[in-house]
Chain A
Amino acid sequence: MTLGRDDWLDVARKVDWTYRYVSEEEVFPPEMSGRPWLPHDAWQGWNEAYRTTYREYVSNQRAKDDAVLGVRSALSKVHILEGLDPGWLQLVKFHNGALALAEYAGAVAELRMARFGRDSAWRMMATLGALDEIRHTQIPLLLGHDMLRFDGNFDWTHKAYHTNEWMIIAARHLFDDMFLAADAIDLAIQLNLVFETGFSNLQFMAMAAMADRASHHLFEKALASIQTDEARHSQIGHPVLRTLIENGGKDRAQFLVDKMWWRCWRLLIALTGSAMEYLVPVEARTRSFKEFMEEWVIEQFTKNLAEFGLERPWFWDLFLEELDSAHHSFQLGLYAYRTTLWFDVAMPDAEERCWLSEKYPQWDEIFGPFWKRLEEEWATNGEAGTLAYALPAICNLCQLPTLFVRPGKNTACTLMLGGRNYLFCSQPCRWIFEQQKERFTDHRSVVDRIVAGQAPGKLIDLHDWMGLEAPTETGKDLRRGLSPWRLEPVPTA
């Protein structure tokens, strides 16, 4: 009779031993393994909820890859790409650039846990998690490479993280903080628990549903398949959090959850919210970003918090208020500074405005006038009138422009520290900074670098510094002024 998984897997999962020739603390140094540093006895109850063997892993993953690559060979033809909505294509370009190499950094994070995680079962899960993240790098790199024939700017799938493009600097700052420059305990909570169980399904599953409706079936298949891996390895976070709380680390746990909730929210505004509601064609939109957040993130995650006896983050009210407006404000910023992006940015057309007003009853009143003014600029001064030229104020924590929550309500704040005046988009960003000053004080935002002469102040030179080859790669108005209300063509097109 063949043994079932439960008959033998514990024999393989639990293989820690007592160190004799070196100390346990040398093998698991606190700077990599994390604090509080507890002897292994405290960790031996570490158990993942859903178990997987190596044998099951290679078989399942092979089948999943076969399915995605099968669709790729059928559907990555140029004529199929030609049929895709132009806004949707920009979304894919944005997504690929922002995520492909970040996933690879995620593989390094999983490998850190595979070596410095405190229980063998944790290390084993993380070994498979590292392979997952290699997969999540390789799929977009492969699909992005196929798209180069169609649009050479898909080069940013591979190139983005090697550049100083400002949004990528913001992403690097976040991902360094979340996992690449974090010890095993912090990263298990920040990456696996908060980001992967809390937020990543929005980027992957919600986007997959829209990809389906936008007839980009290959992208849909890839995203949905990736999310099934995330669901497996994200469970690393729960037993780590539980052990931390059981050993007097509840305040620390609450801090990490609050901090990363806020930082993930900022990421989602930038990466998901604006793309979902300004680049996805209206007919492909299922729910609004706010509706997705309410249903997929807030409801699910508050249940998780309750399970551990943790509180909602202290900034909950501000977060709820931002749901109605932060990504709309951000979109205005993206539009005005679009030449510093690697993808095109859309001004909503009449149909999209109706949709936005329906989903966000105050949208027309708050944001309508800004877009109207931009239309008028197109009509009277051409593209030049629609671009921002002044340096934006950049938050010293999230590295995004300080333009939340909405016009008329400015949440920006400052902090004087060590003779330097730091600027923040909001109280939560300042609070995070203050809690971990040693982590963040030395960092300079893009604008700080320009002011200090470390980055060029002239836009043309700045494009070069950011790795953007102008005018080919620099972001444009999605419709290039071809709509009746934007008469002037983009001068560089």
Chain B
Amino acid sequence: MMASEKKGWDRNGMAERAAQELEDGMYVNLGIGIPTLVANYVGEKDITLQSENGMLGMGPFPYEGEEDPDLINAGKQTITELSRTAYFDSATSFGMIRGGKIAAAILGAMEVSEKGDLANWMIPGKLVKGMGGAMDLVAGVGRVIVVMDHQNKHGDSKVLHECTLPLTGKGVVDLIITNLGVLEVGKKGLHIVETAPGVSHDDIRAATEATVV
């Protein structure tokens, strides 16, 4: 059997593409999963990472033996501080989120609609853990960028006319980056901004339930 040629981006490819959306001087919040990898691709750009539990200027994971229980990120992982780091309380943290001071949030998703609705916090009938800070982030930050696989493990499109799962936010997503390409949320539907290597516009249309204009 011939090995099928791998088309599109892998996790790191998506993260690298998402990093291109970030501009010098931005304050950014990265979600858990693929979004966390975006930090590896910002290069020379001056990007300050926010952790919504009360920190600007999040540094890398500590070396073994240097973990500090008083210094964690929003995923409860041990992290480190940088020379620019500032700490604050949760009300102040979400004040800067709700107040639009954070330029962008890069988040994972279960479903996104062509209107920019986002579902990423609960599946009815399954264990519900909670929305954490996701609803505040998508309602408040300047730009919401979703990074996710284009289809679920059954091959169904995750980019839909309407989300079927309970929403995290309505009309909040600006840009969708998937393994197949980059889609912008427009007034009349989604626009293809870019295709991943080896992927055609038709491939994206065929894999997308939502309206692609």
Do chains A and B stick together as partners? no
- Could you list which residues of chain A lie within 8 angstroms of chain B, going by C-beta atoms? none
